[in-house]
Amino acid sequence: MKKIRNAVIRCLDQNKGDETLVAELEKIIAKEGPEACQVIFQVLANLDLEQNEATMCWHETLDHQNAMTSLLGRRVSLTTALCDYFCSIHKSLKNPKVVEIHVYEKTVMDSNYDGLTGLMNRRYFDNALNREMSQAKRYNTDLSLLFLDLDDFKYFNDTYGHQAGDRALKMVADVIMKAKRTGDIATRYGGEEMVVIMPQTGNIEALVLGERIRERLENIEMECGGKSVNITVSGGVASYPANAEDATSLVKLADSALYRAKGSGKNAISLFSQDKRRFLRFDFTGAIQVRKLGFKETITFTGESKDISLGGVLFEHDSPLDIGTRIQISIPLSNEAPLLIIGTVVRMEALDSGRYDVGVSISFQELDKITKHEIKRYLASQLKSSS
pLDDT in tens, 50-99: 889 999 999 999 999 999 999 999 999 998 999 999 999 998 888 887 66
Which residue type is seen at 78?
L
Each residue of 30-43: pLDDT tens digit? 999 989 999 899 88
Query: Do 266 and 155 fall into the same domain?
Result: yes
- Antiparallel, parallel or unpaired: β 269-271 and 233-240: parallel
In contact, 196 and 180? CB cutoff 8 Å: yes
The pLDDT score that the predictor gives to residue 332 is 78
Query: Do 327 and 303 fall into the same domain?
Result: yes
Does residue 189 fall inside a structural domain?
yes
Query: Do 126 and 261 fall into the same domain?
Result: yes
Give the separation between CA 169 and CA 165, rounded to whole angstroms: 6
The pLDDT score that the predictor gives to residue 51 is 87
Task: Give, to the nearest 10 degrees, the angle between helix 162-179 and helix 153-160.
Answer: 130
Query: Do 75 and 40 fall into the same domain?
Result: yes
- Annotated catalytic, 218? no
Does residue 155 fall inside a structural domain?
yes
**Catalytic entry in 192, 205, 211, 374:** 192
Q: Which of 242, 271, 300 is the last residue of a domain?
A: 271
- What is the span of the domain harbouring residue 366? 281-386
The pLDDT score that the predictor gives to residue 141 is 93
Query: Do 225 and 267 fall into the same domain?
Result: yes
Query: Do 266 and 223 fall into the same domain?
Result: yes
Query: Do 67 and 140 fall into the same domain?
Result: no
Query: Do 102 and 155 fall into the same domain?
Result: no
The pLDDT score that the predictor gives to residue 279 is 45
How far out from the chain centre does Cα 145 lie? 6
The pLDDT score that the predictor gives to residue 380 is 59
Give the separation between CA 69 and CA 82, rounded to whole angstroms: 13
> pTM of the predicted model, to two decimals?
0.58
Q: Which residues of the chain have pLDDT under 50?
A: 276-280, 364-366, 370
Question: Which CATH number covers residue 242?
Answer: 3.30.70.270
Query: Do 262 and 376 fall into the same domain?
Result: no
Residues 6+ apart with CB under 8 A from 349: 356, 357, 359
